[in-house]
Amino acid sequence: MKFERYGIGIAKGLTVTIRHLLRHPTVNQYPEQRLNISRRFRGNELVWNQEKCTGCGTCAKTCPQGAIEIVTSTDMTENKYVVEKYEVDTGYCINCGLCVESCPYEALYFSHAFECARYRRGELVQGKEDMLETPERKVSGYFYPDKAAKLPKQTLLVEKITEKR
Amino acid sequence: MATAELDIYHLVKLQAVPPDWPGGFWWHWLFFTVVIIGFVLTMVMGVIYIERRGMGRMQSRLGPNRTGPFGLLQPVADAIKVLLKENIVPTAADKLVHWLAPVVAFAPALMLFAVIPFQNGALLADLNIGILYVVAISSVSTMGIFMAGWGSSNKYSLLGAMRNVAAVVSYEIPLVLAIVGVVLISGSLSLNQMVVAQDIPFILLQPLGFLLFFAAGCAEINRSPFDLMEADSEIVAGFHTEYSGMKFAMFYLVEYAEAVAISAVITTLFLGGWRGPLLPPWLWFVVKVLLVFFAMVWTRTTLPRIRIDQLMAFAWKFLFPMALLNLFITALQVLADWPAELAWAMIIVNIAVMAIIILIWSKFFFRLGGGRIEV
């Protein structure tokens, strides 16, 4: 004998909604409250280490979108390549992470920034200066567990942060 | 003999209709008109806030919380926004009907409050046929809604309006039959008299009547789960698809003013109106209205929208026979002259009868769909 037909189902539903009313809301007020994103975040932007980079161009070759453009010249006195131009069009980036994984000299990382919206398409292109590591532009722990250990732990629940009602 | 009758009449009159408080016919009229308009507008703003915040919390969101403290000014912000919007009238629309419809829909919602007592005798007109007036007037706003649907010359509007008319015509019957039970017990059609008669709130003496009235009332004003006429997944926004600017605001106002009106009628009929301890009567009235409205929000968040065939089946195959049975049982109890000291027994009996009737009817008689085996 199913009791759902006699209004028991409705009563159950009503208790569910009233429990939700008394419960903590699961949303967060985004600009004021931010949850910590994953430590191994595959960011849209890249962070590039100028000292470690040898200008080999592996990243550019492995990029399936061809979004990385690298131009080098030879420095005969020091006997090495000089990176003249290093540009990433993040508008084409598919966040596959192959460039980061393929770099033989650990010179390329994902950025930990997630607010990458721009007003113009041209602004999506990252130049050499926009890719250096700064306190604001943190390195994501993707593919580098030692970097990940330094980042704050991911928060999934709103209860962890103070709330504005 | 004649003098004694006159005295009794005089006594009853005194008890039921206290002295005209602000004094004088026109002053009375002016005072209560202003009070009613102010009451409806402020209550509408209040209930919009309750609905949006309460619904938000029930859906694990916060609801609007940006405008003013706790988002209290959200209705004001909405009103200003909608006032500044462009008023677009479709080229093919019936201009006069399209223009008149919001007014026709809004006026009855306001007029309902003329007979609802805010405290003993504090009402615009203590009609001796008050509840009949409520039933008659509340159906008029359907006219405005149908005018809106027809005047827009839009198939979705017309469909929504047709659904509304179908729902109102069907649900009017259980609604009125549920009221009749209350009328039988209280022995009066005047709303003020009904409240005076409620030493025990009629929700206890008429539990089935309350449920019927609540369900039918929700369907009457097309609140969810009976909001087929503005089912946005099927017919855009129903009858007010083609409305914008201030006219849309009027329909928005109608929706909530009707909800407040039905809450007020439920409060008056079943919850003891303005009666209650400690607090002033008008405050009790407002609190009860808000409680009933909260119940509406609660059911709205919980229940999914029903189909048109379910809507009709619910009205004719469930509410209508239930209302008839309720009326029959109430009439028997009134005829048997149930002693007033045994009111508590009547409460228990009526609640038990309600449970048994609902169980039996839904088990053996209520079926959806004529041709299909299982729906």
Please, are residues B225 and B304 in contact by the beta-carbon 8 Å criterion? yes
A98 and A124 share one domain: yes
CA–CA dist B150, B152 (Å, integer): 6
Model confidence pLDDT, tens digit, residues A80-125: 888 889 999 988 989 898 999 999 988 899 988 888 888 998 888 9
Confidence at residue B241, expressed as pLDDT on a 0 to 100 scale: 83
Lowest-pLDDT choice from A48-57, A153-162, B252-261 = A153-162
Question: Any idea of the CA torsion for B145, B147, B150, B151, to the nearest 10 degrees?
Answer: -120
Confidence at residue A102, expressed as pLDDT on a 0 to 100 scale: 92
Please, are residues B188 and B195 in contact by the beta-carbon 8 Å criterion? no
CA–CA dist A109, A88 (Å, integer): 13
Q: Is residue A36 part of a domain?
A: no
Please tell me which of the candidates B60, B298, B363 has its beta carbon nearest to residue A26.
B60
| Reported confidence tier of residue A62, pLDDT bands at 50, 70, 90 | very high
- What 8-state DSSP symbol labels residue A111? B
- Cα-trace Rg, chain B: 22
Instruction: Look at strands A68-75 and A46-48 and give their pairing.
Output: unpaired
Instruction: Work out the end-to-end distance of chain A between its first and last CA atoms, rounded to an integer number of angstroms.
Output: 45
Decide if A157 touches B, using CB distance below 8 A: no
CA–CA dist B322, B235 (Å, integer): 31
What distance lies between CA A138 and its chain's CA centroid?
10
CA–CA dist B165, B105 (Å, integer): 13
pLDDT in tens, chain B (375 residues): 344 444 544 444 444 444 555 556 777 778 888 888 888 888 888 898 889 888 888 888 888 888 878 888 888 888 888 888 888 888 888 888 888 888 888 888 888 888 888 877 777 777 788 888 888 888 888 888 888 888 888 888 888 888 888 888 888 899 999 899 888 888 888 888 888 888 888 888 888 889 899 988 888 888 878 887 777 777 777 788 888 888 888 888 888 988 999 999 999 888 887 887 888 888 888 899 999 999 999 988 888 888 777 888 888 888 899 899 999 988 888 888 777 777 788 888 888 888 888 888 877 777 776 555 554
Kindly report the nearest CA distance between residue B53 and chain A, in angstroms: 10
Confidence at residue B6, expressed as pLDDT on a 0 to 100 scale: 46
**Owning domain of residue A8:** 4-30
* A/B interface, count of CB pairs below 8 Å: 45
Q: Is residue A99 part of a domain?
A: yes
Task: Return the CATH number at A88.
Answer: 3.30.70.3270
Kindly report the nearest CA distance between residue A35 and chain B, in angstroms: 16
A128 and A52 share one domain: yes
**Higher-pLDDT residue of A64, A152:** A64
A55 and A111 share one domain: yes
Within chain B, residue ranges assigned H as helices are 2-16, 25-58, 74-83, 95-111, 130-138, 140-151, 155-186, 191-197, 202-205, 207-220, 245-270, 281-302, 308-313, 320-335, 343-360
Decide if B310 touches A, using CB distance below 8 A: no
Percent of chain A with pLDDT over 70: 90
A11 and A55 share one domain: no
Q: Is residue A161 part of a domain?
A: no
Q: Is residue A164 part of a domain?
A: no
CA–CA dist B202, B212 (Å, integer): 13
